[in-house]
Structure 1
Amino acid sequence: MPYRLWLRRAVLTLAALVLAPYLLILVYLLPFVHPVSTLMVADLALLRGYDRQWVDFDDIAPVLVQSVMMSEDGQFCFHDGVDWVQMRGVVDDALEGEPTRGASTIPMQTAKNLFLWNGRSFIRKGLELPLALAADFVWSKRRVMEIYLNIAEWGPGIYGIEAAARYHFNVPAAKLSRRQAALLAVSLPNPIDRVASKPGRGLQRLARVIERRAAGSGDYVRCLYD
C-alpha cells in the first residue's frame, strides 16, 4: 500500500474515532436510548457479563441524587461541565510538582465512563474536558445525572443505581434510605474496595458526613427538581 494512501486512511480513522463520541452525545439525547459504558463493553468482550437495570431519573430516590452530588460534585448545578476553579488548582499543583487532587465533575466522569478509559493521564483528561462540555451543553442536567447514575460502577459487574441498590441493600433505587444512599455515594470513587453494604469505620464516617450534607443540599440540587 502506498505510504500516502496508508497515511490518509490512518488520519481518517483517527478523525472518526475522535468525532464518534460527539455524534453519540447527540444520539444519547434521546430519552429512550440507554447508553452503556466502556467498562460494560469490556465485561461483555471478556465474556464476564454484567448486571445493569436502567431506571428513569424520576424513579431514583432523591436522597441518592443528593448524596452523590454532595460527595462527587457539589457545584453540579452551577458549572458548565467543568469546575474551572478546581481545575486551575489541579494545574497549579501539577506545575509546582505537588500531588494533584481530584477535580472531576459528574459530566467529566460521565464522559470518561461512556467514551474513554480508567487511569490518570493528561491525554485522557485532554479528551475528557471537551466531551464533558459538549455533554453538559447538549443534555439537560437531569439527563446528565440520569446517564451517570445508570452507568456508574458499584461493584464487580454491578452497574447503575438500580442494580446497585438491589445488590447491596435488596431494595429498588426508589426506596433507598438516606444512610444507604450516603454509603453508595461514598463508595463511588473505589467501588471494588469500598463495599457499600459492608462498610468499615472509615466508610461509615464518610457516609455520616455526606448524609448531613445531603440533608442540607437545598439550592445545590435545584436544577434537578425545579
Structure 2
Amino acid sequence: MKKFLNIIRKAALWFFAITFIWVLLFRFINPPITYLMLQRGFERKADGKDWKIEKSWVDIEDLSNNLKRAALAGEDANFLNHWGFDFKAMGKALEKNQKGKKLRGGSTISQQTAKNVFLWPGRSYIRKAFEAYFTVLIELLWGKERILEVYLNVIEMGDGIYGAEAATQKYFGKSAHSMSKSQAALIIAVLPNPRLWSPARPTRFVYYKQGLILRNMRNLQKLPF
C-alpha cells in the first residue's frame, strides 16, 4: 500500500508540473489548435466534406471593444469579478434544469476557455473535474485579459470557423477590429450552437438574443483592457 501511494503521489506531482508548464507556456504562446478543431475537421472528412479550419489570431488590443463587451454581456456578465466560477449562475442553471427547462448552462468564459484549449468536448464528471482544475490555473497564471483574448480567438463560430477574426471576415466581410455593436451582439448570440445558427441568416430567436445582449452591454462596467 505504501508503494502504491508513492506511485500515486509521484504521478500527481508529474501531472501538476506538466500541466502548470503547459498553461504557463500558453500565457505567452498562442494555442495553435484545439481538440475541438481537430474533431470537427475529422467529422467533416467523414461526411465527405473538405478539411476546414479557418482561424486568424488577433491580439486583444486589436479586437473591437464592442465584441469584448458583447462577449461579457452574452456569456459571462460577472467575468471581471469572479475567480473562474460564477456560483450564482450555476445555481440558476441547476434550478432551471430541475424544472426541465432548456438551458445552456452556467459555465463562465474562463471555464469555456479551459475546456476549449486544454480538454475534449463532453459532459462527464471527469472532464468537468479537469475543467475546474484548468480554470483555476488559467485564472492564476493568465489573468482576465489573456483569458478573454484566447476565448475570442479559439471559440467555435461556425462550421470550420474559429475565432472572431475568421467569423467577422466570413459573415460581415470586415475585420474584428471594426465590428459594430449590432454585429458583435449578433456574433455572440449564435454561440450556443454556431453550426445551427448563423449571423448571416439570423432566426427570430437569434435576433431576440441579440437584443438582450445589446441591452446588457449598456449595463456593463467599463472594461479595463
**What is the TM-score of this pair, normalised by structure 2?**
0.82
Name the amino acid aligned to 2:166: A
2:186 equivalent to 1:183: yes
2:137 equivalent to 1:134: yes
Quote how far apart the aligned CAs of 1:17 are.
6.6
Which residue matches 1:34?
30
Identical amino acids, percent of aligned pairs: 32
Aligned pairs for 1:67-106 (under 5 A) are 67-90=70-93, 98-99=99-100, 101=103, 102-106=105-109
From 62, 65, 83, the equivalent of 2:65 is 62
DSSP-derived class of the 1:154 partner: strand
Distance 1:158 1:72, change over 3 A: same
Quote how far apart the aligned CAs of 1:161 are.
0.5
Alpha-carbon RMSD across the aligned residues, in angstroms, is 2.8
Quote how far apart the aligned CAs of 1:82 are.
0.9
Quote how far apart the aligned CAs of 1:125 are.
1.3
Quote how far apart the aligned CAs of 1:41 are.
3.3
Quote how far apart the aligned CAs of 1:112 are.
0.5
1:167-213 CA-to-partner distances (Å, cap 9, x unmatched) read: 11111001111111001011111100110111011111110111121
2:207 equivalent to 1:207: no
DSSP-derived class of the 1:142 partner: helix
Which residue matches 2:149?
146
Aligned length: 211
> Which 5+ residue runs of structure 2 have no aligned equivalent?
46-50
Distance 1:28 1:63, change over 3 A: same
Please say if residues 111 and 128 of structure 1, whose CA atoms lie closer than 8 Å, have aligned partners that are also in contact: yes
Please say if residues 63 and 176 of structure 1, whose CA atoms lie closer than 8 Å, have aligned partners that are also in contact: yes
Which residue matches 1:164?
167
2:22 equivalent to 1:24: yes
C-alpha distance in 2 between matches for 1:175 and 1:197: 17
Distance 1:175 1:92, change over 3 A: closer
Name the amino acid aligned to 2:27: L
Please say if residues 52 and 162 of structure 1, whose CA atoms lie closer than 8 Å, have aligned partners that are also in contact: yes
Please say if residues 81 and 136 of structure 1, whose CA atoms lie closer than 8 Å, have aligned partners that are also in contact: yes
DSSP-derived class of the 1:66 partner: helix
1:88-122 CA-to-partner distances (Å, cap 9, x unmatched) read: 4556777xx55485110001000100111223222
Distance 1:88 1:23, change over 3 A: farther
C-alpha distance in 2 between matches for 1:92 and 1:16: 38
Distance 1:43 1:201, change over 3 A: closer
1:11-50 CA-to-partner distances (Å, cap 9, x unmatched) read: 95x98677644321110111xx111321123356677241
2:53 equivalent to 1:50: yes
> Which 5+ residue runs of structure 1 have no aligned equivalent?
none
